[in-house]
Amino acid sequence: MSQTSPMDRRSALKFGLAGTLSLFSGTAFGAVSVSRSLSFLNLHTGESATATYWENGQYISEATRTLDYLLRDHRTNEVREIDRGILDQLYRLRLLVGNDRPFHVISGYRSARTNAMLARRSGGVARRSYHQFGMAIDVRLPGTRLQDLRNAALSMKAGGVGYYRRSNFIHLDTGRVRFW
């Protein structure tokens, strides 16, 4: 059983403020917002992108294609459409922690071949990983303590949240709500 230390006061206030704003907005992460933007740095390729992926109630195809490419399997260069729910989770997470710096991407989409290779090397890789379906991402966010990022992700109750303290990243997916 793992223990988590309590959030610091600043983080608790940020989460409280974000939750209060979401009540007034009428949605979980903001009818107040007419656009949603994200920034990424892919740690394996060195590529970065900032994209407004949603605007005026709809996803922007050109921007989401840019993000799909950045989040591709860097080992095989295969691109798959990333579940837009992951982008929305990351946007909401960024608001919760109050940090608009680029997410550092450890892993986005993984081809079946890459996933099988990683599963053979490590017991920590699921054989039917959500990464294979474009439904998961592993990230960290410079300027935000990993534990605070995890706690904010857990507070969203939006899918799976994995905490990899030693490897310095969290996992998010659009599967059922669970954590490890």
Q: Where are the domains of the chain?
A: 9-179
Residue 123: pLDDT band (50, 70, 90) is low
Least reliable range by pLDDT among 89-93, 121-125, 173-177: 121-125
| pLDDT for residue 12 is more than 50 | no
Residue 75: pLDDT band (50, 70, 90) is very high
| pLDDT for residue 14 is more than 90 | no
**Mean pLDDT (whole number) for 61-84:** 97
Longest CA–CA span in the chain (Å) reads 48
Residue type at position 156? M
Least reliable range by pLDDT among 48-62, 75-89, 121-135: 121-135
Starting at the edge strand found earlier in the chain, the sheet holding 136-140 runs 58-59, 48-55, 35-42, 103-107, 136-140, 169-173, 160-164, 178-179
**CA 172 → CA 40, 87, 161, distances in Å?**
15, 10, 5
Residue 117: pLDDT band (50, 70, 90) is confident
What pLDDT score does 8 carry? 54
**d(Cα 138, Cα 172) in Å, to the nearest integer?**
6
The pTM for the full model equals 0.80
Residue 10: pLDDT band (50, 70, 90) is low
Under a CB-based contact definition with an 8 Å cutoff, are residues 57 and 51 in contact? no
Q: What is residue 63's three-state secondary structure?
A: helix
Q: Where are the alpha helices (DSSP H) in 41-145?
A: 61-70, 84-97, 112-121
Which element (helix H / strand E) includes 172? strand 169-173
**d(Cα 161, Cα 174) in Å, to the nearest integer?**
9
Strand partners for 103: 40
Q: How far is CA 85 from the centre of its chain?
A: 9
pLDDT digits 0-9 by tens, 21-58: 443 333 444 455 689 999 999 999 999 999 999 999 99
Which element (helix H / strand E) includes 55? strand 48-55
**d(Cα 97, Cα 151) in Å, to the nearest integer?**
10
pLDDT digits 0-9 by tens, 84-109: 999 999 999 999 999 999 999 999 99
Strand partners for 18: none
**d(Cα 170, Cα 117) in Å, to the nearest integer?**
21
Q: Which CATH class is domain 9-179?
A: alpha beta
| pLDDT for residue 174 is more than 70 | yes
**d(Cα 12, Cα 22) in Å, to the nearest integer?**
15
